[in-house]
A and B are shown apart, each in its own frame.
Chain A
């Protein structure tokens, strides 16, 4: 009995035929190509979702209303304001006559950024002394405030340096003060991190593909054929991996050319690590979908077990909370967030990203192995 059981295991799981694997891969490619919604879900929707999520979580598409309180009224202050007025992300609401007016305008929501130029600004610049301006942000929308204040600080600093090149002056010392919420969070690294979220979509597609086969009954026919669990699982995964990489390329293009996020690391590293991430998400989702009987339960499982926790726990919006550390670490997205930020912003190479990369590789290996081992060629 034990011997025959052992034989059965050998014949089911180890022996693999390239011909049968190829047949399933070809079939799966055809399914994806012919199902417009599926094709869209895997290839195009990651890029679209990245745009939507990035605006949702970080950028404001509207121009930022802006007012100034010029207490200096010098030629120099006028020059600075002219420079800012040409910026396409700012909308000049007008000049105010007092601090109180500035505060009232922000409280009423008429403006979201304010600039105060102190008396003596022009004289200090001309005399070559370091001078000060004050930038005011609306902390009720901390992400926009942080982004815009950082940007304006940079712009004013640049303007000051340009002025100094013409006149030997020390740079302007910009002092930022945030009203209403002094603890702002930076959203600079949002877009690369969101790649981890949008690349769950190919996994969602594979979960649908696996359960659809059960729902439509084709799995029953297939179960009565010599197809092996390894051939079936890999035959499903490989086409979604290929199309998932296409989808990833689209999302990365959006990050680079739409959001202008710099890629400081190597593109080859990014491609390789994205492959590992896709393998890990596809594998883990395949394992979970193996226990689901219908497309709707599989879809709900992917949403509740992967997409939603990944958005909130993987360190995209907030640093990983020590209390949810274990849950976060068990999500492939958490590790890819570290990788994506490291590659895009810090220019890290794969040596520096060894830990998250190793975890993703192990997740991929274990989940695919267990998906194969737990697949039952049975119905009911």
Chain B
């Protein structure tokens, strides 16, 4: 049986549907990454799973406990880190940890050991007395994680834990999550970063209140139909304009110093065909290579594809911020 399970979870705010029927089955010890554009409903979903927001419909079970009806019963096995900084800025690092230890009933020698371990874990030993409000962005996130871990939760819900954190702190934070994963903690984490999603065992793509697809990060890349070619060139704008008229062209995006071009899978030797097409247009380029699409491309493709369908179905174009 899954440790975290939900069926047909729904929540609307007025006329806005935030979560429009989500099913999840997360196994014990699994690390699950939830990606999706802003406004996809990730935060609302996590709040419902954490038992701090009541769903309009649907069921949630955490370790067999009904979270909707008995949210108090899951408190001790759940660690929840909201998206916003939610600790007490005027209390010191140690005071925040002690407060959460007392609230969760962690006491005596265990409290001391646990706090020392978490301080070491989060590399905050030298900042015990610093008010939480005066920590750097990365340290704040690590302190929030430490507070969420004070009672050894079995399930950890993290809402964009590395948002606004510098890359080094981000890496450090994920190393901590990897350790927790090895300890057997079940983790559900939302992230806007593809490289982070790729560190999860399973990834779900959320869009407009639904989970469009979920799979392993490597399988996710195969969702993109066709093949991906990377064109390395100086004038990417001219190349982009030219590839649109290439027969078999599906889609293209710039990606740093190159243009990723998606072409129909049935083309024979697409690299050579595209090279010929570009030369015929009078354009020069350094090289064309066949490449595996990154999670980000899969993500953009799936959402764009879905919007095309909506347009065909006569629906209004939803706004997507990426």
Taking beta carbons and an 8 Å cutoff, which residues of A are in contact with B? 4-5, 7-8, 11-12, 17, 19-20, 22-24, 26-27, 30-31, 34-35, 216-227, 377-380
Contact = CB atoms under 8 A, between A and B. Distances in A.
A4 B70 contact: yes
Contacts of B52: 220, 223-224, 377-379
B51 A221 contact: no
Contact of A225 (B75, B87, B90): B75
Contacts of A17: 105
A221 B69 contact: no
Contacts of A34: 90
B102 A30 contact: no
A330 B99 CA distance: 38
B82 A225 contact: no
Interface in B28-79: 44, 47, 50-54, 66, 69-73, 75-76, 78
Contact of B71 (A31, A227, A377, A380): A377
Contact of B69 (A8, A27, A35, A227): A8
A220 B51 CA distance: 10
Contacts of B104: 225-226
Interface of B: 13, 44, 47, 50-54, 66, 69-73, 75-76, 78, 80-82, 84-91, 95, 98-100, 102-105, 107, 144, 147-148
B71 A225 contact: no
A90 to B, nearest CB: 52
The 9 closest A-B pairs by CB, nearest first: A23-B102, A217-B84, A224-B80, A221-B86, A217-B86, A226-B75, A223-B52, A220-B82, A34-B90
Given A8-B72, A227-B103, A377-B52, A35 B90 contact: yes
Chain A residues touching B, majority SS: helix
Nearest to B84: A217
Contacts of A22: 102
A216 B89 contact: yes
Contacts of B80: 221, 224
A83 B52 CA distance: 75
25 contacts: A4-B70, A5-B69, A8-B69, A8-B70, A11-B73, A19-B105, A20-B103, A20-B105, A23-B98, A24-B103, A27-B91, A30-B90, A31-B91, A218-B88, A220-B82, A220-B86, A221-B80, A221-B82, A221-B144, A222-B103, A224-B80, A225-B75, A226-B104, A226-B105, A380-B53
B99 A224 contact: no
Nearest to B91: A30
Nearest to B52: A223
Contact of B88 (A20, A31, A223, A377): A31
B99 A27 contact: yes
A11 to B, nearest CB: 5
A31 B148 CA distance: 21
Given A27-B88, A221-B147, A380 B13 contact: yes
Contacts, number: 94
Contacts of B86: 216-221
Contacts of A380: 13, 44, 47, 53
Given A27-B88, A224-B50, A19 B147 contact: no
Contacts of A223: 51-52
B262 to A, nearest CB: 39
Nearest to A30: B91
Name the residue among A4, A11, A223 with the largest chain B CB count within 10 angstroms.
A223
Nearest to B79: A224
Nearest to B90: A34
Interface centre among A12, A24, A216 (most CB of B within 10 A): A216
A5 B69 CA distance: 7
A378 B98 CA distance: 23
A153 B147 CA distance: 70
A139 to B, nearest CB: 54
Given A23-B103, A27-B99, A218 B75 contact: no
A225 B70 contact: no
Nearest to A222: B103
Contacts of B103: 20, 23-24, 222, 225-227
B185 to A, nearest CB: 16
Contacts of B70: 4, 7-8, 11
Contacts of B148: 221
A23 B98 CA distance: 8
Contacts of A5: 69
Given A224-B51, A380-B47, 17 more contacts: A4-B66, A4-B69, A4-B70, A8-B69, A11-B73, A22-B102, A27-B95, A31-B88, A216-B89, A218-B86, A220-B47, A221-B80, A221-B81, A221-B148, A224-B52, A226-B75, A379-B47
B202 to A, nearest CB: 23
Contacts of B95: 27, 30
A224 B71 CA distance: 9
Contacts of B71: 377
Nearest to A380: B53
B87 A221 contact: yes
Contacts of A379: 47, 52-53
B183 to A, nearest CB: 21
B26 to A, nearest CB: 17
A112 B75 CA distance: 71
A220 B84 contact: yes
B72 A11 contact: yes
Contacts of B105: 17, 19-20, 226
A120 to B, nearest CB: 76
Contact of A224 (B44, B78, B102): B78
A218 B85 CA distance: 8
Contacts of A23: 98-99, 102-103
Contacts of B89: 216
Contacts of A19: 102, 105, 107
Nearest to B72: A11
Given A17-B105, A225-B103, A217 B82 contact: yes
A220 B148 CA distance: 12
